[in-house]
Amino acid sequence: MKFRTLLGSAVVLASAILAATYLVQAAPSGKTVQFKSGNEMISGYLSAPSGAGKHPGIVVIHEWWGLNDWVKEQADKLAGEGYVALAVDLYRGETASDPNKAHELMRGMPQDRAIRDMKAAVDYLSSQPNVDPKRIGSIGWCMGGGLSLQLAIHDPRIVACVVNYGSLPTDSADIQKISAPILGNFGAEDRGITPADVHNFEKAMKDAGKSADLKVYDGAGHGFQNPNNKEAYRAEATADAWSRITQFLKKNLMK
């Protein structure tokens, strides 16, 4: 009887080890890739789901801190949801950990080059055998949120666009160029992108016959989704925003 009990325990333990091993192997794991942007070679962090077949693609656009570990984690999370996620490195390998350096890097990044790099990321995703080129979206936070919208303005291949507390276009000509549905998450206490800015953009989109689902979170400010922003981070708002993001992407990309 004791032998059977020990044997049973051993089987359970072995099964648990095998299950844990499978989970580790099945989890999305990213890698650095290089691709051409104009006459330059640039890089990005590519994370893909483990399943076979063609998946939707997403261009992931970093905050003003650069392509750091947190952004790579977001790409991995999106890969876990079934998307081939490419986080493009707009700073050419540089990152910042203090606001002064981040501001310097952001100011030193030409807007036209950033748009070119993001479009190159769309090109790269479209060329991958595991990506459906007709189902590519974009997502960004902070600086990257505004750039996610700029990509939707400048590249009609974007069919779903997520902006998290990023700058919003006011030029009616730019808004007319947006063909993708927009999902936005903003903080009521954000001094840079105010609730009034969000309301004005929402109205402009509606007047132009465009689709925009925008939400402003009470008690949240700029950068509320990143736990590295100790004072700004809001766990409850972040969880709700992530739920909105996954539902939006599933609706518009998982077709």
SS3 84: strand
- Give the CA dihedral 98, 192, 150, 122, nearest 10 degrees: 40
In 62-171, alpha helices (H): 69-80, 99-107, 111-127, 143-154
DSSP category for residue 158: E
pLDDT score of 2 more than 60? no
Residue 3 placed within a domain: no
Give whole-number Cα distances, 68 to 62, 120, 136, in Å: 8, 20, 23
The rounded distance, in Å, linking the Cα atoms of 68 and 71 is 6
Residue 24 placed within a domain: no
Domain assignment of residue 158, given as a range = 29-253
pLDDT at 88: 98
The rounded distance, in Å, linking the Cα atoms of 43 and 182 is 26
Q: How far is CA 9 from the centre of its chain?
A: 43
Report the predicted TM-score, pTM, of the whole model to 2 decimal places: 0.89
Task: Give me the mean pLDDT over the 48-75 stretch.
Answer: 96
Residue 195 placed within a domain: yes
pLDDT at 200: 98
Task: Give me the mean pLDDT over the 85-102 stretch.
Answer: 97
Split into its structural domains, the chain has a count of: 1
- Give the CA dihedral 99, 103, 105, 108, nearest 10 degrees: -170
Residue 34 placed within a domain: yes
SS3 65: coil
pLDDT at 28: 64
Residue 139 placed within a domain: yes
Confidence of residue 3 (pLDDT cuts 50, 70, 90): very low
Residue 134 placed within a domain: yes
Q: Give the DSSP H/E element, type plus range, for residue 230.
A: none
Sheet holding 55-61, edge to edge: 30-37, 40-47, 84-88, 55-61, 131-141, 158-164, 182-187, 212-217
Residue 10 placed within a domain: no
Show the CA angle centred on residue 28, arms to residues 25 and 32, nearest 5°: 115
Amino acid letter, residue 40:
E
Q: What is the pLDDT of residues 224-244, one digit of tens each?
A: 999 999 999 999 999 999 999
Query: What phi and psi, each to the nearest 5 degrees, are found at residue 238?
Result: -60, -45
Q: What is the pLDDT of residues 11-58, one digit of tens each?
A: 333 333 333 333 333 456 799 999 999 999 999 999 999 888 999 999
The rounded distance, in Å, linking the Cα atoms of 28 and 162 is 21
* Partners of residue 58 on adjacent β-strands: 85, 137
Residue 5 placed within a domain: no
Q: For position 215, which CATH number holds?
A: 3.40.50.1820
Q: What is the pLDDT of residues 192-236, one digit of tens each?
A: 999 999 999 999 999 999 999 999 999 999 999 999 999 999 999
pLDDT at 70: 97
pLDDT at 29: 74
